[in-house]
C-alpha cells in the first residue's frame, strides 16, 4: 500500500540530521516514493540601524549556501540518495520548506522535532498559519526515540 | 525495513478521523506494526466559583466516555482494526496522548493537523514542553492533502 509518492526531507545539519534522513529514506523505500532534500540557510542578522546590507553580508550568505550545497550532497551520497533532488535556499525555514513542498508537490515533509528547522520553527509561533498553508502531511522525527 | 512497531492513532471523531485512521493503518501494515487507538474526552467546563464538581458533571463525563467507547469500537471495526487496543479517557488531550504513548511504548503518534486533538493542541502554546516530553515520532496528517 503506497501512502506517499514524494517525500521532502528537511535537514539542518545538526546531529539529528542523520537519523531524520534515515527515517525519511526508510519511508520512501516502503512507499516507492522519490525523495527531495532541503536545507534553508537562516542568518541571524543583528539589529542594524539601516536598511543597507551589512558589510560582507551577501558574500557570507553566499558562502553559507555553497557550504550547505556541499554538505547536502555528501548527506545524499552517505544515505544512498544520489537520485534525490537537492534544494538549498536562504530565508525563513518554515516559509521556504512549506513553499518548496508546494512547488515540488511533496506529500510528506520529514523533519526533526527538536532541530533548528524542526517543529518549533515550522509550527512555533505561527502554528495555525503554517498548518493551514502546509500542503501535506508532516512527520516530526523524535531523536532518541526508542525506534531503532 | 521496519521503522515502527507500535502506532498510536489519536482520533477526535471529527470528519477527518476516517482519513487519519486510514493513514495510520496503512503505515502499520507497511511496518508490520501493531495499532492502538485513543480518544480523549475534553470537557470545556466554564468558570465555576468552587472546587466542587458541577451538578451532573460526573454523569455527563461518564456518558461522553461511554459514547466514545462505542464510537471507537465502530471505528476499529470499520477499518479492520479489531485487534487494536482502544483507550478512552478524559482530561487534557495533549497530556493524555503523550502519557499513553509513553505507557504503551508507542513509537509513532498519528493525529490530524487540524482537528481538535491535532497539532494546535498537541503543540500549540506549549510546543517546546510537549515536544520535549513526547517519547516518539509524531505524524500530523493533513486532511485534503493530495495523497490519496
Tell me the domains of chain B and their CATH numbers.
6-44+58-141 (3.40.50.620)
pLDDT values of chain B reduced to their tens digit, one per residue, 148 residues: 558 999 999 888 888 889 989 999 999 999 999 999 999 887 655 555 556 666 666 677 788 899 999 999 999 999 999 999 999 988 877 788 889 999 999 999 888 876 555 554 444 333 333 355 667 888 888 776 544 4
Please name the residue of chain B whose CA is at the shortest distance from the CA of residue A148: B3
Query: Is the Cβ pair B107, A29 closer than 8 Å?
Result: no
Indicate the angle between helix axes B17-31 and B57-78, nearest 10 degrees.
50
Residue A54 has a pLDDT of: 63
Q: Are the CB atoms for B30 and A3 separated by under 8 Å?
A: yes
Q: Are the CB atoms for A35 and A25 separated by under 8 Å?
A: yes
Q: Are the CB atoms for B29 and A1 separated by under 8 Å?
A: yes
pLDDT tens per residue, range A92-119: 777 888 899 999 999 998 888 765 555 5
Q: Work out the minimum CA distance from B27 to partner chain A, whole angstroms.
A: 8
Q: Which residues pair with A6 in a beta bridge?
A: A34
Cell matching residue B6: 507500535
Report chain B residues whose CB lies below 8 A from the CB of A136. 142, 145-147
Query: Is the Cβ pair A137, B145 closer than 8 Å?
Result: yes
Interface of chain A against chain B, CB under 8 Å? 1, 3-5, 23, 26-27, 29-31, 105, 107-108, 113-114, 118-120, 123-124, 127-128, 131-132, 134-142, 145-147
Per residue, what are the HEC states of chain A? Answer: CCCCCEEEEECCCCCCHHHHHHHHHHHHHHHCCEEEEEEEECCCCCCCCCCCCCCCHHHHHHHHHHHHHHHHHHHHHHCCCCCCEEEEEECCHHHHHHHHHHHCCCCEEEEECCCCCCHHHHHCCCHHHHHHHCCCEEEEECCCCCCC
Indicate the angle between helix axes B17-31 and A17-31, nearest 10 degrees.
90
pLDDT tens per residue, range B44-60: 555 555 566 666 666 77
* Rounded Cα distance, B39 and B41, in Å: 6
Report chain B residues whose CB lies below 8 A from the CB of A5. 147
Report chain B residues whose CB lies below 8 A from the CB of A127. 119-120, 123-124, 127
Q: Which residues pair with B28 in a beta bridge?
A: none
Query: Is the Cβ pair A139, B138 closer than 8 Å?
Result: yes
Q: Work out the minimum CA distance from B84 to partner chain A, whole angstroms.
A: 19
For B119, the closest of A4, A31, A131 (CB atoms) is A131
Start-to-end CA distance of chain B, whole Å, equals 23
The DSSP H or E segment spanning B29 is helix B17-31
Alpha-carbon torsion (B11, B15, B19, B22), positive or negative: positive
pTM of the model: 0.81
Query: Is the Cβ pair A127, B132 closer than 8 Å?
Result: no
Residue A53 burial (CB count, 10 A): 12
Please name the residue of chain B whose CA is at the shortest distance from the CA of residue A107: B147
The closest of A26, A30, A62 to A43, measured between CA atoms, is A62
Report the phi/psi class of residue B91: left, alpha or beta, with left for phi > 0 and alpha for psi in -120 to 50.
left
For an interface test with A, give the residue of B142, B143, B144, B148 to mutate (most A CBs within 10 A). Answer: B142
Alpha-carbon torsion (A77, A82, A84, A85), positive or negative: positive
Place of cell 455527563: B60
Residue A127 has pLDDT above 50, yes or no: no
The helix/strand/coil state of B101 is helix
Start-to-end CA distance of chain A, whole Å, equals 23
pLDDT tens per residue, range A29-58: 999 999 999 998 876 555 555 566 666 666
Residue A55 has a pLDDT of: 63
The closest of B61, B77, B65, B76 to B9, measured between CA atoms, is B76
Amino acid at each position: 500500500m503506497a501512502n506517499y509518492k514524494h517525500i521532502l526531507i528537511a535537514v539542518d545539519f545538526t546531529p539529528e540530521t542523520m537519523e531524520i534522513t534515515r527515517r525519511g529514506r526508510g519511508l520512501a523505500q516502503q512507499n516507492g516514493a522519490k525523495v527531495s532534500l532541503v536545507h534553508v540557510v537562516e542568518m541571524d542578522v543583528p539589529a542594524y540601524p539601516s536598511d543597507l546590507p551589512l558589510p560582507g553580508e551577501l558574500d557570507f550568505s553566499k558562502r553559507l549556501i555553497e557550504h550547505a550545497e556541499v554538505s547536502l550532497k555528501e548527506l545524499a551520497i552517505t544515505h544512498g540518495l544520489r537520485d534525490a533532488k537537492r534544494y538549498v535556499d536562504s530565508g525563513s525555514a518554515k516559509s521556504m520548506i512549506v513553499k518548496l513542498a508546494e512547488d515540488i508537490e511533496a506529500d510528506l515533509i520529514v523533519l526533526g522535532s527538536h532541530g533548528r528547522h524542526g517543529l518549533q520553527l515550522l509550527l512555533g509561533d505561527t502554528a495555525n498559519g503554517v498548518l493551514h498553508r502546509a500542503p501535506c502531511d508532516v512527520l516530526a522525527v523524535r531523536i532518541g526515540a526508542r525506534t531503532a
